[in-house]
Amino acid sequence: MAVVSLRNFFVLSLALNVSLILRTINQNEKLQSGALMAVQKGAKVSQMAFLSFPSLSSPSAAAPEIQTPLGSERIINLDHGDPTMYEQYWKPMGDKTTIVIPGWQSMSYFSDVKNLCWFMEPEFAKQIVRLHNVVGNAVTEGRHIVVGTGSSQLYLAALYALSPQDSSNPINVVSAAPYYSSYPLMTDCVKSGLHKWAGDATVFNKDEPYIELVTSPNNPDGFVRHSVVNRTGGILVHDLAYYWPQYTPISTPADNDLSLFTVSKSTGHAGLRIGWALVKDVEVAKRMIKFIELNTIGVSKDSQLRAAKVLEVVSDSCEQAGGLEYAESFFHFSHALMTERWRLLREAVKRSGLFSLPNFSSAHCSFFDNNLGTQPAFAWLKCDRDDVDDCESFLRGHKILTRGGKHFGVGPKYVRISMLDREETYNLFIERLSQIRL
Ligand SMILES: Cc1ncc(COP(=O)(O)O)c(C=O)c1O
Ligand SMILES: *[C@@H]1O[C@H](CO)[C@@H](O)[C@H](O)[C@H]1NC(C)=O
Ligand SMILES: *[C@@H]1O[C@H](CO)[C@@H](O)[C@H](O)[C@H]1NC(C)=O
Ligand SMILES: *[C@@H]1O[C@H](CO)[C@@H](O)[C@H](O)[C@H]1NC(C)=O
């Protein structure tokens, strides 16, 4: 009896140990595969040019929420223009922009079959027109509005619509350097037979048709721009993502053949992925709509409805500023924030003596009815010292991640720094920058 029970105990203990071992192995595997997945996720994220992290060596670059409490150890990632700064305005707004969408709504592919842009929500279109009228930054009369999944999709739609359909050669696409780093990547992404990236517009001298992208104010340097190529056969696309009062004085309502806008940089709702185009020519609008139809069969209705609500509140805040509902307009708030950020940045740059920033002349802003300066969404910083050739690496050495000049078609002496991050990150950046010594 005793032997049996001892044997039983032995078997039981073995079984227990085996299951213990199995559990341990299993857990290790889970941990390892979890870590592997995180690495792969990081690698995937780094492959996205728009999000490209210059260095993935530190996990905190990919996962900003795991930050060390030590300010000096923290990696400050200002590589992409993620507009999280605007949470500061929208959080206190509480339920003003909350919408409720019952499960049975937004089910159909179609939004408005009477409209050329059949997948555009009428309320969204209404709020676009209203906001442009309130701000005075674009003419909407006689324009076709086309909604897109971000202005990025509309950029591709515009290239598709404007490229000659019957040509044997792809049309040249140019923009004056420094240009938005995504243009070359998006233009050549699918190696289209319709269009190809042809680089810096200021040196374009081919006797061939071309599309010139005019980004005003410009990403990365913030300057107001006009077309630079002076040749026949040119087609213009105006990217006006930053033509809003918090960044630049509104001089006159934009009146172009094709203008692109986005909620990403105007209200800060980049995650909605909503942009719009104002298009003069009906045939161009039709082709852009066709592109979106072939690409994504329309644009998320839920996102359009949220965007419409956000734009409505922005317009309300402008029209009712100083009232009971809105102490100040959205643009007053964001303009004041940008003013303060640029003041701090110029002060820090002056203190360090190693860098320089562009200077902007002031101009009359019709929206604020005042003579105002320019305060771009990005700082286009130059490393002045002769012994610093690569400004991006130099700043990375100080755990500040930026995007180097070569991505924008210029040299490595320049970097682009996002001015739209959260307050805490921005303040840490200013503190870090002020302390840099050679
Ligand atoms: C000049 C410019 N155009 C377009 C975009 C893309 O905007 P969206 O988020 O609407 O796709 C950006 C974003 O950084 C931009 O800087
Ligand atoms: C079970 O594991 C314990 C501790 O690791 C060990 O002392 C014991 O001998 C093991 N039993 C068997 C049956 O392997
Ligand atoms: C553009 O070219 C035309 C004719 O070639 C010339 O008259 C005009 O001054 C040029 N404009 C600019 C801004 O260079
Ligand atoms: C901007 O203005 C300041 C002060 O006048 C000057 O020192 C600096 O060189 C200027 N920067 C550029 C890029 O022109």
pLDDT score of 17: 56
The maximal CA–CA distance of the chain, rounded, in angstroms, is: 104
Average pLDDT over all residues of the chain: 89
In this prediction, residues 20-26 reach a mean pLDDT of: 53
Mutate which of 153, 216, 262 to test ligand 1's pocket (most atoms within 8 Å of Cβ)?
A: 262
CA 137 to mean position of chain CA atoms = 20
Ligand 2 atom closest to the Cα of residue 14 is 13
Ligand 1 atom closest to the Cα of residue 148 is 10
% pLDDT > 90, the chain: 82
Q: Is 215 in the pocket of ligand 1 (CB under 6 A)?
A: yes
pLDDT score of 437: 81
Segment 215-266, tens digit of pLDDT: 999 999 999 999 999 888 799 999 999 999 999 999 999 999 999 999 999 9
Q: Is the pLDDT of residue 38 over 50?
A: no
Band (pLDDT 50/70/90 cuts) for residue 311 is very high
Distance (Å) of CA 203 to CA 167, 210, 229 = 24, 13, 8
Is the CB of residue 351 less than 8 Å from the CB of residue 166? no
pLDDT score of 230: 86
Task: Label residues 243-271 b or e (16+ Cβ within 10 Å = b).
Answer: bbbbbbbbeebbebebbbbbbbbbbbbbe
pLDDT score of 37: 47
Between the CA of 33 and the centroid of ligand 2 the distance, in Å, is 28
Between the CA of 10 and the centroid of ligand 2 the distance, in Å, is 9
pLDDT score of 44: 46
Could you say which ligand is closest to the alpha carbon of residue 7?
2
Could you say which ligand is closest to the alpha carbon of residue 226?
3
pLDDT score of 315: 98
Q: Is 222 in the pocket of ligand 1 (CB under 6 A)?
A: no
Could you say which ligand is closest to the alpha carbon of residue 307?
1
Q: When comparing pLDDT for 45 and 3, which is higher?
A: 3
> Which residues does a 6 A CB cutoff place in the pocket of ligand 2?
10, 13-14, 17
Segment 87-122, tens digit of pLDDT: 999 999 999 999 999 999 999 999 999 999 999 999
Band (pLDDT 50/70/90 cuts) for residue 72 is confident
Which residue has its alpha carbon closest to ligand 2 atom 5?
17
pLDDT score of 54: 36
Q: Bin 242: left if φ > 0, else alpha if -120 < ψ < 50, else beta.
A: alpha
pLDDT score of 231: 86
pTM beyond 0.85: the answer is: no
pLDDT score of 19: 54
Distance CA 139, CA 358 (A): 30
Q: Is 219 in the pocket of ligand 1 (CB under 6 A)?
A: yes
In this prediction, residues 170-180 reach a mean pLDDT of: 98
Tell me which residue of 267, 426, 217, 264 sits closest to 340, measured CA to CA.
426
